[in-house]
A and B are shown apart, each in its own frame.
Chain A
């Protein structure tokens, strides 16, 4: 326990953020006059105290005398009504506290020891007429009870003494040994063990769900019967991690009905890739698919690029900032952990959230206990988390999207992806290949291990003991990760200091070490050696903890000295925690005893097989019965304001998208700054090639036709790239299924149909999958305000991400209309396909026909687009997606800051023609001089609609349908999130 505690408060003399911060909270409905912010550092030491003079020196180190003041053990003086201090709960990552600690250590030349630390907190000083209720709401808006501690004082209570210094150390009193688990139980008891967890002998409470079903528990029982002993808790917890849906993807791996005996993954995703690779022969672009932490394709003769897209849904529902931050830095590690280490060079994001304008009354507990976070809070939190992760790591984040639907209120989906780049070979050795050999040392690098993320996905509403560490959620520490990322990818890899590397993600060491042990044929780990954040953890916790910012490496004995020396010089903690072996066993030792000794074969392949059954879903939605209005002006403006269509530029500008110097086509384009569906980035300075990224997703189609939904997602992801000039034959895909209730046969049928769509779409386009991930139970189960049980399931969601290589970015095409007089075309055919469209959603009508696509025709068209781009005949190109042709035309006009005169053909109702979401189409503008050459390439597939020019956007079809100033359209497009 710390004996000396001091508190330093730092405040801006004139805080430049004060007006924006105050205004922001006023706009949320709080009657504030001002909301000041004070940074607080609480310094807790036990071995030595600091003199007043030293504390004053520390204050000077932690503040800027030009614009800030600090006070030592003396409250900040200010005019306010309420003081709200927000700090972290014990065990939560505190990056500012760590930096302050390092600064103090560096200044005085000494090290903080065990039980000594610096904690950061933020003190808000609010002035305004806050009722007790609004004060409580403000507190809830500033802090998250899962990670934060909060202390509130009125001005009177604050008085002359201010806030109370608090040092949130972790104190554990746990059994630091492995116990055995009796599986010779009746089935009902066994099932309960799988569902609720092992009973802790100390507390006699269940430790939290293992998520093992009865068949799996029987397999484990039988295995240990064969060994003639009872399993330890370390072994059970480890098997539960390794066999989890998260790690083994059992739903995609299991046989399904009679037509998918090998499972959806092998039958649809892997088979599609195999077929395509075979057909492409020498032109195969794949380098590494499915086997590694990311997938990789050829970039040029010397380089490959990797890509991986992950989701981090459950943690983001609980702590949006921490969850999303952990998601993005986690997928960065899938890049660093690809092959022998690729350099992360582009981040991408995607958020499915509830409408941030709503505040639904949903609770995790009965009697209005434990409310869900409001959608806006989740939205802003995840935006900030991914932003901080990318920005602090020096990785540009140009590409992303947001999709809003009420069914994401209980469980948001947070997609985070990373592209990496690396040389294909060095000294004749392929860098995408790795192999740990027997005798190599197991080395853990990066952050320390705490109780973070243990049974994290299974948050329960139990009150947290004030001194118990937060386990359900993790907050990332991008700088710790940046330090080891740099030393690994920019130094150690090229010094050939290790033979294999992988990420510590889900399952922690239990999964990373056991996974790498497959390469050598076994492992022997000494768990006592693992550095801990705080003492007192049980061995099973150390083994499965998901503490962030860690990698596991296999270092040959003769290189260990050089490796450890390099890590030390870069201030990266690295620890030898065992040896890779060829014994065929995964052995874990703790306190001189084996606490785990299991056959690798059983660990990885002992999982009993399942056979899933599906049940078709009959969807009989009638075609909508609606009238087309005479004029469509209001509809156009309303559609541009729809949250799924309007500008979310405030995200693009707070994400660094220019670092690493490769910006070519960015997240917003044109003088009107419209968000683009695809971006292009240079990743190798000397090369004119670029990496194109885009995505497609249509959750609103899922319930109507999951097969077509998948094809639409594939086509849209591909078409976004084709519009910029990326050739179809360089494009690869990634799939992310985020399903719901995947134990229901109807949902599994939808899954199967979507997977078939994935297979057929990819094979027809010739675009292989290189990586994917699934998350199968995105359901919220809780209660409404009257304590009635409520289940909110996300719409079955499939994200298809595309990555392609542009051969020469100097010929790339942006989306904005360029000059007066240019011709406007729509390329491709428009059908009456309004099912699941934004138009029908705007009108509140379900049903209709979901767009279908003739892929063979589309392929020919996309080839022509590449041809036209290469011949420089395309002044701008934009793929028609959500909102249909009219929205696409409007976005092209707004981006260019120019008007258009458009005449639509007869034969179809104007609203159907303009709002149908038929696939395969582009809006293209062309210089008048290039008309002939352009039309020669496309023939009758290109439909001339009108011209660019003036300041007004006019659409006619026999009569005037729309006449609007482009400035008014731009205002509508940018209005909904203008205050963010």
Chain B
């Protein structure tokens, strides 16, 4: 199953990040070993970013979303680890941010990072409904890149209060022109959500659920593929199960979302 390689992932934790364990589980199932590292251990030098090839900012509620989701944690990274992070980005490495992780990446300016410059160009604003929204959504790849390879669609939960993708018209144009939109929210039949709730669960501009950096090595994604790795995690699995059973077909064990993590691991296996 897993291809052996030496690339290791660093999964950030601390201050209210909470999805580090399921993120580790996802990478492990896809064949990549990882360490969950408290940000303070990186700052104190007990762990070193350059020992890793993949840096993950997992989901969570760092600092309780106070002062804007992901903002305070991003400040902590920028104020203490910025040169290490820039060095990491210069190497042949990947960075993934899921949900709170995406919010952190956006606040750090690691996305979109046009021209290898890191101002804040995008924002994940509060959902239009003003409350956290937890439900399954369907995602369709919007670009062919290392992250989306071989994925027809993802079906996984969103769970956030601030996932409403926003940026200037100019930035949006550039993001779309350069093929940086990685995933968009869509309907069950994979047609565009067109901004309609609940397919687009938060009001995101252009149904954007995830984008990459200009160099393609950083991905921010609001929904949580790591929370639905197995067939039985999918919202509609009981119906699927019953249909398969009556057709005399076996039940799958894993979900379509595993492909996302396989793609990441494959990048380092090549």
Binding site for B on A (CB under 8 A): 12, 15-17, 19-21, 24, 39, 61-68, 95-96, 98-100, 102-103, 106-107, 120, 387-388, 391-394, 478-479, 482-483, 486, 569-571, 652-666, 669-671, 682, 685, 809-810, 812-814, 816, 818-819, 872, 875-876, 927, 929
A569 and B44 contact, CB distance less than 8 A: yes
Which residues 59-116 in B have Cβ within 8 Å of A in the complex?
59-61, 63-68, 71-72, 75-76, 79-80, 107
Binds A, one of B130-138, B147-155, B259-267: B130-138
Other-chain residue from A20, A393, A657 in contact with B18 (beta carbon distance below 8 A): A393
Given A63-B68, A100-B66, A654-B131, A659 and B166 touching (CB < 8 A)? no
B121 in contact (CB, < 8 A)? yes
A100 and B67 contact, CB distance less than 8 A: yes
B159 and A656 contact, CB distance less than 8 A: yes
Residues of B within 8 A of A486 (CB): 13-14
Binds A, one of B2-10, B173-181, B225-233: B225-233
In the assembly, what is the distance between CA of A570 and CA of B25, in Å? 23
Residues of B within 8 A of A654 (CB): 131-134
A16 and B75 contact, CB distance less than 8 A: no
Residues of A within 8 A of B161 (CB): 391
The interface centre, meaning the residue of B60, B64, B131, B166 with most chain A CB atoms within 10 A of its CB, is B64
Subset of 15 A-B contacts with CB under 8 Å: A17-B126, A66-B122, A66-B166, A68-B68, A95-B66, A96-B64, A99-B72, A106-B80, A394-B19, A394-B60, A486-B14, A571-B15, A658-B134, A661-B226, A682-B233
Residues of A within 8 A of B241 (CB): 810
Given A66-B122, A100-B66, A478-B64, A659 and B159 touching (CB < 8 A)? yes
In the assembly, what is the distance between CA of A388 and CA of B132, in Å? 9
Query: What sequence of 0s and 1s flags, for each residue 216-259 of chain B, a beta carbon within 8 Å of any chain A beta carbon?
Result: 00000000101111111101111101110110000100000000
A64 and B68 contact, CB distance less than 8 A: yes
Distance (whole angstroms) from the CB of A71 to the closest CB of chain B: 16
Residues of A within 8 A of B66 (CB): 95-96, 98-100, 120
B125 in contact (CB, < 8 A)? yes
Closest A residue to B230 using CB positions: A682
State the 10 A-B residue pairs at the shortest beta-carbon distance, nearest first: A394-B18, A99-B66, A661-B22, A814-B238, A66-B123, A658-B157, A17-B130, A96-B66, A392-B61, A67-B123
Closest B residue to A815 using CB positions: B238
B203 and A483 contact, CB distance less than 8 A: no
In the assembly, what is the distance between CA of A387 and CA of B159, in Å? 12
Distance (whole angstroms) from the CB of A105 to the closest CB of chain B: 10
In the assembly, what is the distance between CA of A666 and CA of B70, in Å? 27
Distance (whole angstroms) from the CB of B39 to the closest CB of chain A: 10
B146 in contact (CB, < 8 A)? no
In the assembly, what is the distance between CA of A12 and CA of B162, in Å? 13
Residues of A within 8 A of B132 (CB): 387, 391, 653-656
A16 and B157 contact, CB distance less than 8 A: no
In the assembly, what is the distance between CA of A21 and CA of B130, in Å? 8
In the assembly, what is the distance between CA of A391 and CA of B59, in Å? 11
Closest A residue to B100 using CB positions: A394
In the assembly, what is the distance between CA of A20 and CA of B13, in Å? 33
B75 and A653 contact, CB distance less than 8 A: no
13 new A-B contacts, CB < 8 A, other than A66-B121, A99-B66, A810-B241, are A66-B168, A96-B67, A99-B67, A100-B67, A103-B71, A120-B66, A652-B134, A656-B134, A660-B19, A663-B227, A813-B238, A875-B242, A927-B242
Residues of A within 8 A of B121 (CB): 66
Closest B residue to A107 using CB positions: B79
In the assembly, what is the distance between CA of A393 and CA of B132, in Å? 14
Distance (whole angstroms) from the CB of B145 to the closest CB of chain A: 24
B187 in contact (CB, < 8 A)? no
Distance (whole angstroms) from the CB of B159 to the closest CB of chain A: 4
Closest A residue to B44 using CB positions: A569
Distance (whole angstroms) from the CB of A296 to the closest CB of chain B: 21
Distance (whole angstroms) from the CB of B188 to the closest CB of chain A: 9
Given A66-B121, A810-B232, A479 and B67 touching (CB < 8 A)? no
In the assembly, what is the distance between CA of A497 and CA of B19, in Å? 25
A16 and B128 contact, CB distance less than 8 A: yes
B41 in contact (CB, < 8 A)? yes
Closest B residue to A649 using CB positions: B135
Residues of A within 8 A of B159 (CB): 391, 656-659
B164 in contact (CB, < 8 A)? yes
A653 and B133 contact, CB distance less than 8 A: yes
Distance (whole angstroms) from the CB of A390 to the closest CB of chain B: 10
Distance (whole angstroms) from the CB of B9 to the closest CB of chain A: 17
Residues of A within 8 A of B227 (CB): 658-661, 663
B203 and A659 contact, CB distance less than 8 A: no
In the assembly, what is the distance between CA of A102 and CA of B79, in Å? 12
Residues of B within 8 A of A872 (CB): 245
B67 and A671 contact, CB distance less than 8 A: no
Closest A residue to B160 using CB positions: A656
Residues of B within 8 A of A669 (CB): 238
B134 and A657 contact, CB distance less than 8 A: yes
In the assembly, what is the distance between CA of A68 and CA of B14, in Å? 27
In the assembly, what is the distance between CA of A582 and CA of B73, in Å? 45
Closest B residue to A96 using CB positions: B66
B25 and A661 contact, CB distance less than 8 A: yes
A64 and B71 contact, CB distance less than 8 A: yes
Residues of B within 8 A of A652 (CB): 134
Residues of B within 8 A of A478 (CB): 16, 61, 64
Distance (whole angstroms) from the CB of B240 to the closest CB of chain A: 10
B13 and A95 contact, CB distance less than 8 A: no
Residues of B within 8 A of A682 (CB): 230, 232-233
Closest A residue to B132 using CB positions: A654
B13 and A653 contact, CB distance less than 8 A: no
Residues of B within 8 A of A479 (CB): 15-16, 61, 63-64
In the assembly, what is the distance between CA of A496 and CA of B215, in Å? 45
Distance (whole angstroms) from the CB of A733 to the closest CB of chain B: 26
A20 and B133 contact, CB distance less than 8 A: no
In the assembly, what is the distance between CA of A571 and CA of B62, in Å? 14
A394 and B123 contact, CB distance less than 8 A: no
B21 and A99 contact, CB distance less than 8 A: no
A812 and B238 contact, CB distance less than 8 A: yes
A66 and B120 contact, CB distance less than 8 A: yes
Residues of A within 8 A of B127 (CB): 16-17
Distance (whole angstroms) from the CB of B24 to the closest CB of chain A: 9
Residues of A within 8 A of B226 (CB): 661
Closest B residue to A568 using CB positions: B40
In the assembly, what is the distance between CA of A163 and CA of B268, in Å? 56
B167 in contact (CB, < 8 A)? yes
Distance (whole angstroms) from the CB of B33 to the closest CB of chain A: 16
Given A17-B128, A106-B75, A927-B246, A64 and B123 touching (CB < 8 A)? yes
A392 and B16 contact, CB distance less than 8 A: yes
Distance (whole angstroms) from the CB of A590 to the closest CB of chain B: 34
Given A99-B66, A656-B132, A571 and B238 touching (CB < 8 A)? no
In the assembly, what is the distance between CA of A102 and CA of B16, in Å? 14
Other-chain residue from B40, B133, B228, B251 in contact with A571 (beta carbon distance below 8 A): B40
Other-chain residue from B63, B107, B167 in contact with A99 (beta carbon distance below 8 A): B63
Closest A residue to B40 using CB positions: A569
Distance (whole angstroms) from the CB of B71 to the closest CB of chain A: 7
Residues of B within 8 A of A665 (CB): 238
Other-chain residue from A96, A569, A663 in contact with B233 (beta carbon distance below 8 A): A663
In the assembly, what is the distance between CA of A872 and CA of B133, in Å? 33
B130 and A663 contact, CB distance less than 8 A: no
Other-chain residue from B64, B72, B129 in contact with A103 (beta carbon distance below 8 A): B72
In the assembly, what is the distance between CA of A99 and CA of B238, in Å? 43
In the assembly, what is the distance between CA of A621 and CA of B22, in Å? 55
A482 and B16 contact, CB distance less than 8 A: yes
Closest A residue to B126 using CB positions: A17
Distance (whole angstroms) from the CB of B174 to the closest CB of chain A: 14
Closest A residue to B159 using CB positions: A656
Residues of B within 8 A of A387 (CB): 131-132
In the assembly, what is the distance between CA of A100 and CA of B71, in Å? 10
Residues of A within 8 A of B228 (CB): 658, 661, 663
Residues of A within 8 A of B107 (CB): 64
Residues of B within 8 A of A15 (CB): 126
